[in-house]
Amino acid sequence: MSLFLSDESDPRWSRLIGLIMPRDPTHISRSDASMNGMGAWSADLPHMWRLSIADLKACAIPTHGRHNQQYHEPKAEQAPAHINILEFFGIFIELWLLIRSLKALYDADPTSVPPGGFRILALADNTSALSWLQYATRTKRPVVRRLARLLTAFLSSPFPAAFVRVQGKHLPGLENTAADLLSRFELAPSWESAMQQSPHLLPLPTCQVPRVVLSSLAYLISNEPTEEWFETKMTKLWTIELPPFAHGSSRLRVLRHHSTTHD
């Protein structure tokens, strides 16, 4: 109700005219998920991240890891999350990382916003997860509606509402090979092997995914959140410290760690 009473100049009720005009993306991201993990990368704000089954399990995300016995864990009491859900998780995490990073750039230099604002093109090979970026309210699945509500709340925050437009687009799986290497540990068991197999990944810095982002998504799999929960999570998603991007020798040290999440 408070939103309806807010000033009409609030960025959630208005946006730059440039944000509603067709423009080329300023940032393109590519993400993928499998039953062995998930990952994403972008060359426009250079970075890459990946999460293993161990990372997902640590944040209470049910998965059975059927692709590779090396990463197989005992079956959880909760049914494994559907692959479409995991794909949406990957898209959300990547959007969180990109938009928070763009907000940091804006805070340091407000002139960093290009004419017409930032335009993010999220590429993925899962059409269902991509459709939820726009049409999730039409689904009868409660978990999808809850996840879409979290994304909508995040994108409705003052900075993205005023300066960011997000569009999803399908990328055929055969063209999503670099993201596949990040998500499929049976193809690239280590960071080193993923980079050796993809020239796109080789120069990118690595980063860790804050545990609170993943655990927030995990909670929505089987829980109906309250308004207070959403308010608390939005505060955390916008105030938690951004993960550092590791370059050079620092990146090599990061690669030795099995887990890529941090508190």
Task: Please state, in angstroms and rounded to a whole number, the distance separating the CA atoms of residues 104 and 101.
Answer: 5
What is the domain partition of the chain in residue ranges? 27-262
Q: Return the structure tokens found at 235.
A: 């505060």
* Dihedrals phi, psi of 30, to nearest 5 degrees: -130, 125
pTM for the structure as a whole: 0.84
Note the residue count of the chain.
263
Check whether 211 has a pLDDT greater than 70.
yes
Closest CA to 95 of 23, 18, 36, 155: 155
Q: How confident is the model at residue 72 (pLDDT cuts 50, 70, 90)?
A: very low
pLDDT tens digits, residue range 149-197?
999 999 999 999 999 999 999 999 899 999 999 999 999 999 999 999 9
pLDDT tens digits, residue range 22-46?
679 999 999 999 988 999 999 999 9
Task: Please state, in angstroms and rounded to a whole number, the distance separating the CA atoms of residues 262 and 215.
Answer: 11
Which DSSP symbol is given to 185? T
Q: Do 207 and 47 contact (CB within 8 A), yes or no?
A: yes
